Amino acid sequence: MYNLKFNDIIYAKGDLANDRLKRKSTFLNSFLEYLTGILNKSVNTVKEYNYDLAHFLKFISHHFGLSSEENIKEIDIHDMSIETVKQIKLEDIHAFLYYLTETYHSKAATRARKAASIRMFFSYLTQKAHLLEVNPAQGLETPKLDKRLPKYLTLEQSKELLEVTKAESGDFKERDYAIITLFLNCGMRLSELVNINIKDINFYDNKLNVVGKGNKERTIYLNKACIDAINSYLAVRPHDGVKFDSRDALFLSKRKERISNRMVQEIVKKELIKAGLDISKYSVHKLRHTAATLMYQYGNVDIRALQVLLGHESISTTEIYTHVENKQVKNAVESNPLANE
């Protein structure tokens, strides 16, 4: 059992990030370049792979006794050789996943993501880079995921959240209302909302182009509520003093620069609290769940249309939104013609 505490790897920005990238192991660096240059993975996706694999390789360094550093965060892996990687076996990967469970109580979804990163990494080393003859992750299974229904706001709760946000006072009430409106009506991801540029909006056809996972662009159609909220915000959006690289951004912060992911999360959290909703249950991503669920339940939306709208690569991902409320299940059973026999 591992008693070490692995502190979260913090990604740096700018020059520091570039410096750290240069100091990565050559084989890890080439894999990250492959993700970007060949597979066209987004910056955020590459960062996730980087995080997962750095976590794994730092663990391996300690697991193999190659470092006396007690704080795994401080273990330097830039000089790890491919010969060390060749020694990794399936049981070492299992030990890493066990370590995550025992030390951090990592959820199955977290372990599944890291397992997927490791599988792809070793697949690259064997089939693309030809640095390994044997793939130790070939028989690696995905940790079994708990099948849980997504948490979402009811229609009444959604209306309350919108009303509370609209009733706000202050310099940013139009911005915050537009943000909540887009989340609840369009089901977009946090990164998609943050990266919206004004030029991405086609006001003539009421549609918006966003870039989702894997740098894939898709079109989102905007309803009247969205158009009205955006127009109200644009009427008061700052124009003077906006940072040069944020001039095209739709949503701006108090500092007149593109709003950050963290700021949007704080805005949503604030409004959820004011609406009397439990922030331990609801978050930005739960608003995406809410939009999908409401469209499916009240809009008679075809599952494949919902897949396109949400930007899901696989229909199986979208199918989670076809859940039915317990009340509906109960009513269905009670409507059975044999119910009163």
Which residues participate in catalysis according to the annotation?
Answer: 189, 213, 285, 288, 312, 321
Measured distance CA(108)–CA(195) in Å, rounded = 30
Q: Label each residue of 1-41 as H, E or C.
A: CCCCCCCCCCCCCHHHHHHHHHCCCHHHHHHHHHHHHCCCC
Could you tell me the two tokens for 165?
């946000």
Query: 25-34: string of b/e by CB count within 10 Å (b at 16+)?
Result: bebbebbbeb
Residue 208, SS3 per DSSP: strand
Backbone angles phi, psi at 245, to 5 degrees: -80, 5
Measured distance CA(286)–CA(273) in Å, rounded = 14
Backbone angles phi, psi at 152, to 5 degrees: -155, 160
DSSP, residue by residue, 25-94: -HHHHHHHHHHHHTS---HHHHHHHHHHHHHHHHHHHHHTT----SSGGG---TT--HHHHHT--HHHHH
Token pair 């509370």: residue: 164
Residue 253, SS3 per DSSP: coil
CA 193 to the chain's CA centroid: 12
Q: How many CB atoms lie within 10 A of CB 291?
A: 24
Paired with 258 in beta bridges are 252
Cα dist from 107 to 98, 283, 324, whole Å: 11, 18, 25
